[in-house]
Amino acid sequence: MKHTARRAFVTALFVGALAFASAPASAQNVTVVVNGQVMSFDQAPVMVNNRVFVPMRAIFERLGSSVSYANGNINAQGNGRSVHLAIGSLNASVNGNPLTMDVAPFLVNGRTEVPLRFVAQSLGANVTWNGNTSTVYIGTSGNNNTSTPQPYATQTPSYQSFYLNNEHPANGATVKTTHPKIHATFSQQVDLNSLHVSVDGNDVTSLVYTNASGFDVTPGFALNPGSHNVNVTGTTSNGASFNTGWTFYTSNTATGTAQNYIVNVSPAPNTRTGSSFTLSGRTLPNSQIHIVATGTSTIGGLFQIGTGTFQSDVTADSNGNFNVPISLNVLGGGQIRVILTSVSPNGASVENQVVYSV
């Protein structure tokens, strides 16, 4: 029995060694950022089969877990979860639920290397990969989320080809509002029917305004001061699945800080416009205004169909005035819904919605 176990362990080490043999000495100078802080490792991350690997103990402990290693078995406890991996094995478990990874842990220079994304997600963290800067962003909410992560698909990892851009609030940023506008653009087009967005585990998909290149949503609930996780899942137009997100922080608006507003909107809400018009209004000076307009047309007086989405970003002038031309292909009898979100230089955010008939 001991000889059998020893042979199995040696085989696992051999498999891990083969995997590492094809890996470069470093993972393209990958940077790992956890809750806004850059991690340092005594052994640089490595890339195997397009997966980032890091030293076992450093990442588990940084994510608030204790970890033990014996005879090729890795066992970790933390954040209300138990995680088990084994050197050279694609089999893993989280809270006793079996999962299959697409890459296996291995040894290099006497150190145990584990797949970063799998470990982080198994412990309830959100992971975002920025291919432009070779940076992995990890965000933890501090909540004991006991759901089981989805098993890895045996394909080129989606986070290497799909990622989010222009996140707002930015990853690791702090905003002074309890109702922030959440926005991101996609690195490639997505299947809109597959898109799901959640904030702190609460599904907000029904509130999302989206097109194939990005989305906007303002949660229908207040976000208490602290860290908040945005999770975005779905499939691209090419059928590749993705599961990504980011973390930002909210704080109370400082005493004496002006609350934001949007007033003097023209055309006046609930009036008739053409399918192309200029929207204007006033907000706090130098605020950033994000506009999302969606159009619907009625066919035969019975059926409503979407006619597209318009998005734009403008900056209010020193008096707070702004204007933006909007153009949508909406037939007579249709409707245009506009969402305006203004974020002042001090971070105060406000959102207004207006509806027009065409």
| Predicted pLDDT of residue 323 | 94
Cis peptide bond prior to 267, omega within 30° of 0: yes
For 75-130, the pLDDT digits (tens) are 999 888 889 999 988 888 888 888 777 788 988 777 889 999 889 888 888 888 77
Taking CA 31 as the corner, what is the angle to CA 25 and CA 35, rounded to the nearest 5 degrees?
Answer: 145
The tokens for 302 are 């019975």
| Predicted pLDDT of residue 13 | 44
Torsions phi, psi for 118 (to 5 deg): -60, -45
Band (pLDDT 50/70/90 cuts) for residue 328 is confident
Q: DSSP string covering 14-81, please?
A: HHHHHHHHTS-SSSTT-EEEETTEE---SS--EEETTEEEEEHHHHHHHTT-EEEEETTEEEEEETTE
For 64-76, the pLDDT digits (tens) are 899 998 888 999 9
Q: Give the residue range(s) of CATH 2.60.40.1220 domains in the chain.
A: 162-250
Q: Is the model more confident about 345 or about 19? A: 345
Q: Please, what CATH class does the domain formed by 162-250 belong to?
A: mainly beta
Instruction: Give the CA radius of gyration of the chain.
Output: 24
Taking CA 185 as the corner, what is the angle to CA 244 and CA 205, rounded to the nearest 5 degrees?
Answer: 65
333, 325 in Cβ contact below 8 A? no
Q: In what order do the strands lie in the sheet with 303-315?
A: 303-315, 288-299, 335-343, 349-357
Q: Please, what CATH class does the domain formed by 262-357 belong to?
A: mainly beta
CATH number for region 2-139: 3.30.457.10
For 10-24, the pLDDT digits (tens) are 444 444 444 443 343
Q: Give the residue range(s) of CATH 3.30.457.10 domains in the chain.
A: 2-139
Alpha helices in 66-148 (DSSP H): 116-122
| Pairwise CA distance, residues 59 & 120, whole Å | 8
For 239-267, the pLDDT digits (tens) are 788 888 888 888 765 444 567 888 899 99
Mean pLDDT of 167-181: 82
Taking CA 164 as the corner, what is the angle to CA 161 and CA 170, rounded to the nearest 5 degrees?
Answer: 150
